[in-house]
Structure 1
Amino acid sequence: MAELLMGIDIGTYSSKGVLCLPDGTVLAVREVEHGLSLPRPGWAEHDPEEVWWCDCATICRDLLRQAGATGREVRALAVSGIGPALLPADADGRPLRPAILYGIDTRASEEIAWLNSTYGADELYSLSGMHLTSQAVGPKLLWLRRHEPEVYARTRYVYSCSSYLVYRLTGEYVLDYHTASHFNPLFDPRRLEWSPRFAEPICDLGLLPRLAWPTEVVGVVHSRAAGETGLAEGTPVTAGTIDAVAEAISVGVVSPGDLMLMYGTTLFFILVQEALVPNPKMWVTAYALPGTYALAGGMSTTGAITRWARDNLARDLLERELAGGERAYAALSWEAESSPPGAKGLLLLPYFQGERTPIHDPEARGVLAGLTLSHTRGDIYRAIMEGTAYGVRHNVETMRQTGAQPGRLVAVGGGTKSPLWLQVVSDVTGLPQEVPELTIGASYGDAFLAGLATGVVPGIDSLRSQWVRGIRVVAPNPELASLYSEGYELYLQLYERTRDVVHALGKIAG
């Protein structure tokens, strides 16, 4: 009987799954799209049943059907998902409200301010190794307790995306160490345990799950989940993790100095480190493998802006695609290629839903500066790519300020389908990027973790020797270094000089 490995990942706008052989050979891939709820400015939510669980169950069944396999042939399953998210559930594990998503949801700004004022930002930082931001789950739990006390009173479980899927599959209540790192100020990353130090006003620590590594099997598929997914009862399931970690694993980002750039709806950075070295403008977390840490960061809206541009500025191209023509994104990229570097004097701040690292400003907003009547849609689309690239440079420069030196850069995610975007990022940062031939994404990393946890994959070395294949390098154009260095300085100035104005505009919009 075949020993197949399955990985499932839940993203912001879509979910994806893969079924593999132990050597990384892909037998089936399935992707389904879903919606994102934005009920108020600064809020972002998912329905955990209709999005998370239904996508997971559907993809499991479809993968087996595509591969002509049975559930009994799946040796192990690992899951990942957007995070950190907050989903309160009752004593029966039933969700009590829609899930509050990761850093793009900025509703807990007042709670962050209160915690900083009450305990001191430096004291909070001394425990978590990172300052409170919209990425942190602790302030969102406090928001829940303050604004929805009846929900908090009924809460017995606190899930993130992957931990909810693990619960639905196995009945086990467990969270991985990386995701737990983002539950600050409730987690001690040095001791790798929940901390009572600042917990009293936020939540009872007894509500929080037990902790494990993504490389650990934490339970097996129970009968009800087997009936819904097509998997066999008793199939091992790992602890799961955040999608960015699984994506980094999928392309071999496991050694100190390896840096992943994940081009998705948001852009996420993970730099693998041997020790926990805090950086006040980035996130410091446990990583996927025991004994490793990560210096991480995230931009709130990158691919989301290209989607916004497609849906609002290029409806003609989208209609043409729906009628069987060229993909709208490809057509937009072609238009952007006709615009010269510098986008004819346009400069974009990509803060359409606030920003996470390194400015940590939930009230930031997008700015497009330099518009004239001569500018075209292609110029605007190029400015979007260049603006997100300046954001990448800002994060990398911030990492370097505390001595962290990115070595090998690996690009992953849906955005790698755009050769222009990859080239612009390398040109702006001055850094080469490795792009593996096979970039299925987080679900591929999940499948590897499932194999590693069960011994079907013999060791971590199998990742680079078998699973990661056909790497190409996107090299920066040195002739553009001066132009983009000037643009980067203007990018930094534009934020500083427009910050107060956009904050005021955000209050008007709210």
Structure 2
Amino acid sequence: MTASAGTDDQVVVGVDYGTLSGRALVVRVRDGVELGTAVHPYRHGVMDSELAADGQPLPADWALQDPDDYRDVLRHAVPAALAASGVTPQQVIGIGIDFTACTVLPTLADGTPLCELPDLRTRPHAYVKLWKHHAAQPQADRINALAHQRGEPWIGRYGGKISAEWQYAKALQLLEEDPEIYARAERWIEAADWIVWQLCGAETRNVCTAGYKGIHQDGRYPSRDYLAALNPGFAGFVQKIDGPLAALGARAGALTGQAAAWTGLPEGIAVAVGNVDAHVTAAAAQAIEPGRLVAIMGTSTCHVVNGTELAEVAGMCGVVDGGISAGLWGYEAGQSGVGDIFGWYVEHAAPDGFASHELLTEQAAAQPVGAHGLVALDWWNGNRSLLVNHDLSGVIVGLTLATRPADIYRALLESTAYGTRMIIEAFADARVPVKELIVAGGLTGNPLLMQIYADVTNRPLGIIGSAQGPALGSAIHAAVAAGAYPDVSAASAAMGRVERNAYLPDPGRARAYDALYAEYRRLHDHFGRGAEDMLLRLRAIRNAARSAANHARADEVALPLEVMA
């Protein structure tokens, strides 16, 4: 900043990388006032059916991205947010980013993504594997089975199961399906750390993703012997992810000249260590205190809460020392599909005349609890917690000829609330207290959904006081990295905000939901805990059929080239 600018003039930038776009937010340091924001959509979006480079079909359950789309957010969203804020670049003292966790990519030792090498542009495994890339479930199953067989001490820290979304399962899939790409990958890195690398020119690894997604516990990664038992070629995998770990809120480095040119920010300002979109939101919602669970609701939902004691919670995504904030045990759980489920119904299943969230919400809100006679499982994108199985799929029970679109829509809303209640009860069973529920994310604007969550969980709901929770959280961490506050807790108190008790449970509706939730639990355990494997068999049949169709399509694409040759 310039010598003429006072402390009250200081601002920071938070950048939130989501599934389909990135958002930049300019925030005043002294009080967290949001001054300007801008969004930039990813040009390639999510590649889940074909590779953009050549149109080749992708197998079932794949989800790839192009990392240059992430740089484009720096090139476009950051300058636009700064222009909208009315402040000068010289007032900016730091930048922080958050990212969807389990979004990982292979790179060279200097950070060059393998997909940007000319000879690898058409190799799908060279690209970013997005969090919702679920094709590594077979590898995850083997990781879990071997860990239990050997009694690996870290498996309990993750509720007994490693997810197919995480670093190890995706890397093992890479090794076994494209060993050449695996061998050329000198680094295997979360996108949160990679984009910080792009900003400051130095590789850093944050304790959050290392702990939750990289199986780093008690100062160690899984042993070489364990990894070799999975696959001899996997023995040295830790070398691709190992490196000094930095605490959340720490300074990763200084903004490089190249990144300054992209963003329009001053060279040399502080770059905060990377973070996860959900975990960084706790600071924005003033939810650092133990017992305040934050549910970040968007396309999926992530649940994070701090605790003072270490406990192993069945089906959780993990518990990590300092994973949310320093000095506390951070717990994470999640649901793989929430807003995506509602969007699927409106875009692909609702009949003509009903394909509107607003209309369906209005009609669903007029119903008394239980009037539709339905119960649904919220597994349209698999189950993250408590079952940690992404081969599971959605179920709706109770359909009749009298069922109408709003009935199904409300049942889907309710199903996600039931899934959150399962998570809260699992925490309670493990003696991790949840005293308060705070909701953040894009779905907070739906009053019906928020009231359903209050009634189903029978808890008062607080609502974060910002529509840009992750970006605000990243800005808070940037302020700490720049030295404006001594720690994240102090910055959160000054810059974060929340509306407490925004929705209160209705006792009558809560009792009615108790009965429906009991049916949800029966359905959940029947299809999810081994009583009936029908959903897994159906997924296998679907994948086999799609694989055969993709091979046929690939042959058709290649045929003209063969004829020309």
How do 1:161-200 and structure 2 match up within 5 A? 161-185=191-215, 187-188=216-217, 190-191=218-219, 193-196=220-223, 198-200=226-228
CA contact (8 A) 1:70 1:230 kept: no
Gaps of 5+ in 1: 320-327
The answer to whether 1:31 aligns with 2:39 is: yes
Distance 1:401-1:418 versus aligned 2 partners, 3 A rule: same
Distance 1:20-1:163 versus aligned 2 partners, 3 A rule: same
The aligned residue for residue 409 of structure 1 is 437
Q: Residue type matched to 1:36 in 2?
A: V
How do 1:206-245 and structure 2 match up within 5 A? 206-208=239-241, 209-245=243-279
The TM-score normalised by the length of structure 1 is 0.92
The aligned residue for residue 322 of structure 1 is none
The answer to whether 1:46 aligns with 2:65 is: yes
Q: Residue type matched to 1:67 in 2?
A: S
Distance 2:110 2:140 in 1: 30
The aligned residue for residue 83 of structure 1 is 101
Distance 2:338 2:147 in 1: 34
Distance 1:339-1:127 versus aligned 2 partners, 3 A rule: closer
Distance 2:491 2:257 in 1: 33
Q: Residue type matched to 1:260 in 2?
A: V
Could you list the runs of 4 or more consecutive aligned residues of structure 1 that deviate by over 4 angstroms after TM superposition? 314-319
How do 1:287-326 and structure 2 match up within 5 A? 287-314=323-350
> Counterpart of 2:188 in 1: which secondary structure?
strand
The match for 1:478 among 507, 513, 529 is 507
CA contact (8 A) 1:128 1:181 kept: no
> Counterpart of 1:79 in 2: which secondary structure?
strand
CA contact (8 A) 1:335 1:377 kept: no
Distance 2:399 2:108 in 1: 52
- Alignment identity in percent? 26
CA contact (8 A) 1:137 1:182 kept: no
CA contact (8 A) 1:260 1:270 kept: yes
CA contact (8 A) 2:104 2:189 kept: yes
The TM-score normalised by the length of structure 2 is 0.83
Distance 1:405 1:217 in 2: 32
Using the TM superposition, name which of 65-74 and 486-495 deviates more.
Answer: 65-74
Distance 2:272 2:68 in 1: 20
Gaps of 5+ in 2: 50-58, 115-125, 229-233, 544-565
Q: Residue type matched to 1:300 in 2?
A: S
CA contact (8 A) 1:182 1:285 kept: yes
The answer to whether 1:265 aligns with 2:299 is: yes
Q: Residue type matched to 2:24 in 1?
A: G
Shift of 1:414: 0.6
Aligned-residue Cα RMSD (Å) equals: 2.1
> Counterpart of 1:345 in 2: which secondary structure?
coil
The aligned residue for residue 324 of structure 1 is none
1:60-91 deviation digits (Å, cap 9, x = unpaired):
11111112333332100000010122210123
Q: Residue type matched to 2:176 in 1?
A: R
Which protein has the larger Cα radius of gyration, Structure 1 or Structure 2?
A: 2
The answer to whether 1:4 aligns with 2:3 is: no
Distance 1:492-1:471 versus aligned 2 partners, 3 A rule: closer
Distance 1:452 1:332 in 2: 43
The aligned residue for residue 59 of structure 1 is 77
Q: Residue type matched to 1:28 in 2?
A: G
The aligned residue for residue 548 of structure 2 is none
Shift of 1:428: 0.8
Q: Residue type matched to 2:507 in 1?
A: P
Q: Residue type matched to 1:293 in 2?
A: W
Distance 2:420 2:33 in 1: 32
1:79-137 deviation digits (Å, cap 9, x = unpaired):
001012221012342212221122x3322222223334444356235366112222431
Q: Residue type matched to 1:25 in 2?
A: V
How do 1:14-25 and structure 2 match up within 5 A? 14-22=21-29, 23-25=31-33
The match for 2:141 among 113, 121, 143 is 113
